[in-house]
Amino acid sequence: MTAEMSPIDKAKFVAAKRASDLVETGMRIGLGTGSTAAWLVRCLGERVRDQGLRIRAVATSTRTAALAREVGIDVIALDEAGWLDLTIDGADEFDGDLNLIKGGGGALLQEKIVATASDRMVVIADAGKEVEKLGAFPLPVEVIPFGWKATQKMIEEMLVSMDVLGRKTSLRMDQDAPFVTDEGNRILDLHLNRIGNARQLALALNQVPGVVENGLFIDICDAVVIGHGDGRVDLRDINAGTVEHDRLDLGESDNLFSDLAD
């Protein structure tokens, strides 16, 4: 299987594999949404099957929940879990302070709730997701359907006073219809190119009427696991100030992963 994977898929796989080693029996785990998080769910499912790992997981989307159940992970609601030991999720971008842009998969609201209800958040990503300044990836903002065009206009007016290079905004579509989140909301993507002050922007966005949440994750991530296409993987812990280097074997895996490299 790994022989057929692209270098980016290999990088995502080794990052997820390394991060799965952080999970211990008895933990309550938050599971993210997106392509890299899907690798993690498969890796944890492999440990459940082969090593008898026993965990309870809170999923950040219906599709992550379905995949987790499929591979044998016990999925529970966040209200049942109460609090989580660890959340592992992907990111669309991360900077040197481990601030993130998330929401490319459309699950930013549940992802932020789950991440902040955890003792620790770890991001898994390929090396291409690291940036000097956030903003090249469009920033998702979840808004309620009522009056979304008015909300969009208010956001565009607010951006005039922000330290950003672009101010274009667009409604995310799902083919010919607006994309709908698990909470029944819409997503506006902000094409900012570069965000000078992410903390200021995050606070300002959440003051706009109609905005539910934004995809800037500030001071939430504790560590990042960065995968490379040749099997190298780095674990950077911002709290401990440490960086660990490793290399994982990209040997053949079984059909738990057969549909993820398509």
Q: In CATH, what number is assigned to the domain containing residue 47?
A: 3.40.50.1360
Question: What is the Cα–Cα distance from 7 to 10, expressed in whole angstroms?
Answer: 5
Looking at the fold, whether 56 and 90 belong to one and the same domain comes out as yes
Q: The domain spanning residue 152 has which CATH number?
A: 3.30.70.260
Inside any domain, residue 178: yes
Cα angle, residue 203 at apex, residues 198 and 205 outer, rounded to 5°? 90
Segment 189-218 shows an average pLDDT of 98
Looking at the fold, whether 77 and 151 belong to one and the same domain comes out as no
pLDDT at 250 over 90: no
Looking at the fold, whether 180 and 66 belong to one and the same domain comes out as no
Inside any domain, residue 262: no
Inside any domain, residue 93: yes
**Number of structural domains found in the chain:** 2
Task: List b or e across 67-100, with b for residues whose CB sees 16 or more CB atoms inside 10 angstroms.
Answer: bbeebebebeebeebeebbbbbbbbbbbbeebbb
Looking at the fold, whether 126 and 150 belong to one and the same domain comes out as no
- Is the pTM here over 0.85, yes or no? yes
Give residue 19's pLDDT. 98
Looking at the fold, whether 98 and 210 belong to one and the same domain comes out as no
Looking at the fold, whether 245 and 168 belong to one and the same domain comes out as no
List active site positions. 111
Residue percentage of the chain with pLDDT more than 70: 94
Range of the domain at 202: 139-214
Is 89 known as a binding-site position? yes
141 phi/psi in degrees, rounded to 5: -130, 120
Inside any domain, residue 94: yes
pLDDT at 252 over 60: no
Segment 207-235 shows an average pLDDT of 97
pLDDT at 65 over 50: yes
Give residue 210's pLDDT. 98
pLDDT at 259 over 90: no
Inside any domain, residue 242: yes
pLDDT at 166 over 90: yes
pLDDT at 117 over 80: yes
Is 45 known as a binding-site position? no
